[in-house]
Amino acid sequence: MPLAELLLHIESFLEASAGKSKETRGTYQRALREFSVFFAREKHFLFRQEDVERYKQYLAEEKLLQDVSISTYLTALRRLCSYLVDCNILQANPALAIRGGRRPASHKRTFLSMDDIEMLFASIDTSTVSGKRDAAIIRMMLGCACSELEITRVDIGDLHRRGDAWMLYVQGKGRSVKDEAVPVPERTVAAIRDYLGERNDQSEAGDPMFVSNSNRSRGARMTIRGLREAVAGRLKDSGVKRGRDRKLTPFSLRHTAGILLAEAGVSPEELMRRMRIEWRPTAMIYFRQVGKIRSRERADKLGLMTIEYGTNTDL
């Protein structure tokens, strides 16, 4: 296949991926740009398994990519080849049998203990708009296992009551629509309502749930950077970091949520659903942490998350 033809196929593949999120399409584009460079240099890439193996070796030894990045690049190539098979350009997908880089067996970030969580909430002054907002955000991270991206995309109208339960519809990474329903604990709903009631604006269902309070972008939808800075500031001011500046980050709250779910006794499938995880080995990382937070041994109820044990129970 000439390089010019490959570039046309890549362009067509990207156009066919219009239903994917902007972030996913951008990842495909960057990864396949690197593949086209390798393809042009090799001149003998015949879309065989051994050719894909050479590309993987090139990514590791010449580009010096980490295992997770190699997996991402190979996933993009795998998707392209699958598209070419569907278009009857290739007879088989040569990248299917080539595994990516080894996935990490544990998270690089640490988690919060129950004492840390109590200290964190106690340190937030919820008499202010910023305090009410940040308390609601932290509860969503811990109780709904929401990511920073998901929270910044949430609108006021995405929170619904369904029967006896509250549900939040989120748009996760790689998604183009809000198609994931997440259970929301009553205490988290109360925190969100408390914040929205304090905003003193004419908010409607389509408006962002969380907005910036900075002078520069007051009232605008919070960015991931702004949310991350707000939560990081709360972690620092609460005193829970204790020398863990690099390991205890805003992501640690979602990581803590995963361990809380595992300790509560949910199945791997339920944890994957609750955390919007598609790869089972990633979910199993949380089950290897069971017993470290010991959340079920605490007599006090923080109302962090809703777990179903026949009836709804707040953990």
> Is 70 exceeded by the pLDDT of residue 127?
yes
On whether the CB atoms of residues 175 and 153 are closer than 8 A, the answer is no
Amino acid at 20: K
Confidence of residue 311 (pLDDT cuts 50, 70, 90): very low
How far apart CA 117 and CA 97 sit, in angstroms, is 44
For the stretch 167-201, pLDDT in tens is: 999 987 767 788 889 999 999 999 999 999 998 77
> Is 90 exceeded by the pLDDT of residue 302?
no
Mean pLDDT of 282-293: 90
Mean pLDDT score of the chain:
88
Looking from the CA of 242 toward its CB, the CA atoms found within 13 Å total: 9
Mean pLDDT of 308-314: 45
- Residue-level pLDDT at 103: 54
On whether the CB atoms of residues 141 and 275 are closer than 8 A, the answer is no
- Residue-level pLDDT at 229: 94
Task: Output the CA–CA distances (angstroms, integers) from residue 82 to 10, 141, 174, 214, in the order listed.
Answer: 12, 36, 18, 46
Tokens in use for 147?
Answer: 């990511």
On whether the CB atoms of residues 81 and 75 are closer than 8 A, the answer is no
> Is 90 exceeded by the pLDDT of residue 246?
no
Amino acid at 207: D
Cα dihedral 197, 191, 309, 179, rounded to 10, equals 70
Q: What is the residue-wise DSSP string for 168-184?
A: EEE--TT-SS--EEEEE
Domains and CATH numbers, the chain: 3-86 (1.10.150), 114-314 (1.10.443.10)
